[in-house]
């Protein structure tokens, strides 16, 4: 929510006077200048005057957005050569509009193709019109404009089809969008016009196709127990309302808004409202009191947004950014509440705020010493990334840490919210596969070891931008921001609004203890590994506490393979599932670990024919159980030994037993056990368990196959 708020109405009024008397050359210059300054509504007006609009009167409508700063056009170019525009006549404009309109519902593509051939300025105006609609969140018109861009030169405008597919997805036309993404991939694989952008956008197209499939599934399977509804007009008024968080209690919120009454940007040609921070109290679950502007010193003639208060109410963090060319920095500030009033805000140090880069969306973890925020600062993985750092009572921040690849992508991750109790990080992303634009995701774990994010699904997410998700202390009620609904104040298009969320999806937890198998004593500091059997999510790990206890939340519709292990013990494993569960449940599973004995462990049921080393069929059943055991205990290496009875020559017995041990190892390797974990040893008759055996039964006990644990720290090395 960081794009400069402009006086679109007054700008268009001024330019409307120009447009009737100006040449197409001048209109293109005006459009390019507006586009360069990120005034996409004005840009759409000028480009629409050149090539025509796809909705009657559309170029005269207003879309005052101040929603986001990370959605920039790619690539940007300089003002075009306009020599091929007829500057003293409207005949070209009439011909363009007529021929485009004639072919909207026609299979005849000859006219537009001929029209745009060799006319670079009209091609540019059409593409920039589509771009301007997209970047001002007018996705319906963006879809229509990009559809006409099929007549443009692929080598000059290689991304037109990608953004067409993207607009279709925003408009919930997932099937058609998938087709267009796939066609874009086919046409542009190896396209020199994309240069270094090629692989990135082809990769994005594949991700967006995956998102289309996910969206269809999510729409067909909405999450039970969640209600999302738009807050009333005391909260949602004006052009932008977003980033609600709790203020002092669950019934009072602070949020950002651009509405009449906000402090104005002091420009002679502008009456636009800036983004200010407001507060309001809820009367009940559907009604709120009239919002009150925080006033000085929080709000200024610049923009303030994304407020978040410390749990004790002593500090407010927020984002502030400039309203003019001389001050475009977007940085995080903190104000302290002292003696009944908010003090002058202070900008956080350069560990958080770097000149020329954006730092925004501050969130303070409940214990008060960890700040999470989003930034496009150097060292990240993509555009906007999530970062966290320690922060003291004076606002001094440590060197920030970038969340790893599990959270951050090549695209945008913003608006973090972390619940310490359940160890859940909520954030918005358009880099993970989702339903359209920014989707809200949840990731479990400690900040330094978060698991793969899970899409919150419907009804929280939509095909548009959904972000700023936050919950109260008991995680039952909260707020979010979305531009999913038509904006009444803007006549059409999408404006961000605040939605209330009754959050009661089924929740699942798993807890238990780890014991010794023999005497049922607790085992502290045992490692427990959780793995999704479908491999959609990365494994995560928990260490039992001093009482041998563990606890973790579980995801919906997932089956976990769980293993407990500890040095000097064999592992124990099992599965737990939440698939099909529609009501919250606290599941319990205990583990019992056998102590690793000193010396060899006999393997019963391994048989050979006389004077043979080939495994008999009945031996394979026993070895299959050993395979399972070794897969569970994948950290151990073993010696596999074979022994003969005391009869026969020493040299003969040693060779025979070595071949028999090797036959067992060969079988285990075929079954997938790493060869590095297995050491075959034939001992002949040198290690009898019964000295001076006399009976056949005693000789049989000496003719054995066994194993002994050598190490417990084996890790498989990927040699690719």
The model's pLDDT over 389-420, given as tens digits with 9 standing for 90+, comes to 999 988 899 999 999 888 999 999 999 999 98
The model's pLDDT over 170-218, given as tens digits with 9 standing for 90+, comes to 999 999 999 999 999 998 887 777 766 667 899 999 999 999 999 999 9
Sign of CA pseudo-dihedral 109, 112, 116, 122: negative
Assigned domain for 720 exists: no
Burial 471-497 (b: 16+ CB within 10 A, else e): beeeeebbbbbbbbeebeebebbbbbb
DSSP letter at 274 equals P
The DSSP string of 54-95 is SSTTGGG--------SS---SS--PPPP-TTS-TT-SHHHHH
Which tokens in the block code for residue 234?
């005391």
Q: Are residues 337 and 210 in the same domain?
A: no
Q: How far apart (Å, rounded) are the C-alpha atoms in residues 597 and 599?
A: 6
CATH number, residue 562: 2.60.40.1120
Domain span at residue 699? 601-711
Q: Is residue 717 part of a domain?
A: no
Tokens of 359: 């730092």
The residues, ordered by sequence, that sit 6+ positions from 20 with a Cβ below 8 Å of its Cβ are none
pLDDT-derived band at 349, boundaries 50, 70, 90: very high
476 and 331 in a single domain? The answer is: yes
Q: What is the pLDDT of residue 11?
A: 38
Residue 330 has pLDDT above 70, yes or no: yes
Q: Give domain status of residue 433, yes or no.
A: yes
Domain assignment present for 718: no
Number of separate helices (H) and strands (E) present in the chain: 13, 33
The string of pLDDT tens digits covering residues 518-573 is: 999 999 999 999 999 988 777 888 999 999 999 988 988 899 999 999 999 999 99
559 and 667 co-located in one domain: no
CA 168 to chain centre: 21
Interhelix angle 197-220/160-170, nearest 10 degrees: 20
pLDDT for the residue 493: 63
- 572 is written with which tokens? 């124990």
Single residue among 503, 519, 547 that ends a domain in this structure: 503
**Pair of tokens at residue 252:** 């009072």
CA 183-189-193 angle, 5° bins: 105
Check which CATH number belongs to the domain holding 620 and give it: 3.30.1330.60
Out of 488, 503, 518, pick the residue that ends a domain: 503
Q: Is the pLDDT of residue 12 over 70?
A: no
Whether 290 is covered by a domain: the verdict is: yes
Asked if 681 and 557 sit in the same domain, the reply is no
Look at residues 173, 162, 148, 139 and name the one whose alpha carbon lies nearest to residue 58. 139
Question: How far is the C-alpha of 421 from the C-alpha of 606, rounded, in Å?
Answer: 51
Strand partners, 249: 247
Whether residue 372 is found in the same domain as residue 499: yes
Residues 579 and 618 in one domain: no
Which tokens hold the place of 279? 């507060």
Which band of pLDDT confidence, cut at 50, 70 and 90, is reported for residue 51? confident
Assigned domain for 50 exists: yes
Overall domain count for the chain? 4
The pLDDT of residue 79 is 43
Indicate whether 635 and 579 sit together in one domain.
Answer: no
> Mean of the pLDDT values across residues 600-629?
84
Structure-token pair, residue 615: 């495994």
pLDDT of residue 309: 94
- Cα three-residue angle 524-597-572, rounded to 5 degrees: 50
Same domain, 183 and 241: no
Residue 569 lies in a domain: yes
3-state secondary structure 176-221: HHHHHHHHHHHHHCCCHHHCCHHHHHHHHHHHHHHHHHHHHHHHHC
Burial class (CB in 10 A: 0-12, 13-18, 19+), 587: middle
- Over residues 285-304, the mean pLDDT reads 91
Asked if the model's pLDDT at residue 283 lies above 60, the reply is: yes
Q: Phi and psi (nearest 5°) for 147?
A: -60, -35
Show the 3-state SS of 558-585.
CEEEEEEECCCECCEEEEEECCCCCCCE
């Amino acid at each position: 929510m960081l794009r400069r708020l402009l006086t679109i109405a007054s700008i268009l009024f001024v330019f409307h006077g120009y447009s009737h008397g100006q040449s197409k050359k001048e209109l293109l210059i005006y459009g390019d200048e507006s586009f360069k300054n990120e005034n996409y509504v004005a840009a759409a007006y000028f480009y629409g005057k050149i090539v025509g609009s796809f909705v009657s009167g559309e170029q005269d409508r207003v879309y005052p957005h101040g929603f986001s700063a990370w959605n920039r056009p790619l690539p940007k170019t300089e003002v075009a050569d306009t020599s091929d525009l007829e500057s003293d006549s409207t005949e070209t404009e009439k011909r363009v509009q007529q021929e485009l309109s004639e072919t909207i519902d026609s299979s005849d593509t000859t006219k537009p193709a001929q029209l745009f051939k060799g006319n670079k300025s009209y091609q540019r105006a059409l593409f920039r019109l589509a771009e301007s609609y997209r970047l001002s969140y007018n996705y319906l018109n963006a879809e229509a404009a990009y559809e006409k861009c099929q007549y443009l030169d692929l080598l000059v405008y290689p991304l037109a089809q990608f953004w067409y597919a993207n607009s279709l997805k925003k408009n919930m036309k997932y099937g058609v969008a998938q087709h267009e993404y796939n066609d874009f991939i086919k046409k542009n694989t190896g396209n020199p016009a994309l240069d270094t952008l090629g692989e990135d956008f082809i990769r994005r197209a594949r991700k967006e196709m995956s998102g289309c499939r996910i969206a269809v599934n999510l729409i067909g399977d909405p999450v039970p127990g969640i209600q999302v509804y738009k807050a009333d007009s005391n909260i949602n008024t004006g052009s932008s309302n977003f980033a609600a968080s709790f203020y002092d209690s669950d019934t009072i919120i602070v949020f950002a808004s651009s509405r009449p009454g906000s402090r104005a940007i002091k420009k002679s040609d502008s009456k636009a409202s800036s983004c200010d921070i407001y507060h309001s109290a809820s009367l009940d679950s559907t009604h709120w009191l009239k919002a009150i502007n925080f006033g000085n010193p929080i709000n200024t003639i610049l923009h303030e947004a994304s407020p978040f208060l410390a749990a004790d109410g002593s500090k407010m963090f927020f984002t502030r950014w400039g309203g003019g060319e001389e001050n475009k920095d977007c940085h995080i500030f903190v104000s302290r509440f002292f003696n009944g009033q908010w003090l002058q805000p202070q900008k956080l140090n350069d560990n958080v705020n770097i000149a020329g880069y954006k730092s925004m969306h501050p969130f303070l973890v409940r214990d008060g010493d960890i700040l999470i925020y989003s930034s496009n600062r150097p060292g990240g993985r993509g555009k906007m990334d999530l970062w966290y750092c320690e922060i003291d009572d004076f606002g001094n921040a440590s060197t920030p840490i970038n969340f790893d690849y599990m959270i951050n992508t090549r695209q945008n991750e913003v608006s973090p919210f972390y619940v310490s109790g359940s160890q859940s990080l909520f954030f918005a992303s358009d880099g993970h596969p989702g339903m359209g634009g920014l989707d809200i995701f949840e990731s479990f774990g400690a900040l330094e070891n978060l698991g793969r994010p899970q899409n919150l699904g419907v009804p929280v997410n939509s095909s548009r931008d959904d972000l700023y998700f936050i919950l109260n202390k008991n995680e039952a009620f909260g707020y979010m921001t979305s531009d999913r609904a038509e904006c009444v104040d803007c006549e059409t298009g999408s404006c961000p609004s605040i939605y209330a969320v009754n959050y009661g999806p089924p929740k699942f937890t798993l807890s238990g203890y780890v014991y010794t198998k023999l005497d049922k004593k607790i085992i502290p500091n045992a490692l427990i590994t959780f793995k999704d059997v479908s491999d959609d999510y990365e494994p995560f790990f928990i260490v039992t506490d001093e009482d041998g206890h563990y606890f973790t939340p579980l995801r919906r519709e997932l089956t976990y393979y769980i293993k407990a292990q500890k040095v000097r013990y064999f592992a124990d494993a099992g599965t737990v599932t939440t698939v099909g569960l529609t009501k919250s449940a606290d599941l319990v599973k205990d583990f019992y670990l056998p102590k690793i004995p000193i010396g060899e462990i006999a393997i019963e049921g391994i048989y050979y024919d006389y004077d043979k080393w080939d495994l008999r069929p009945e031996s394979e059943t026993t070895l299959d159980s050993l395979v399972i055991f070794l897969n569970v205990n994948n950290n151990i290496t073993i010696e596999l030994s074979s022994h003969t009875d005391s009869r026969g020559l020493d040299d003969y017995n040693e060779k025979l037993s070595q071949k028999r041990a090797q036959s067992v190892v060969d079988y285990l390797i075929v079954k997938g056990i790493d060869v590095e974990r297995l050491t075959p040893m034939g001992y002949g008759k040198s290690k009898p368990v019964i000295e001076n055996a006399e009976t056949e039964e005693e000789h049989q006990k000496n003719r054995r196959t066994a194993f002994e644990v050598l190490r417990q720290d084996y890790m498989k090395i990927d040699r690719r």
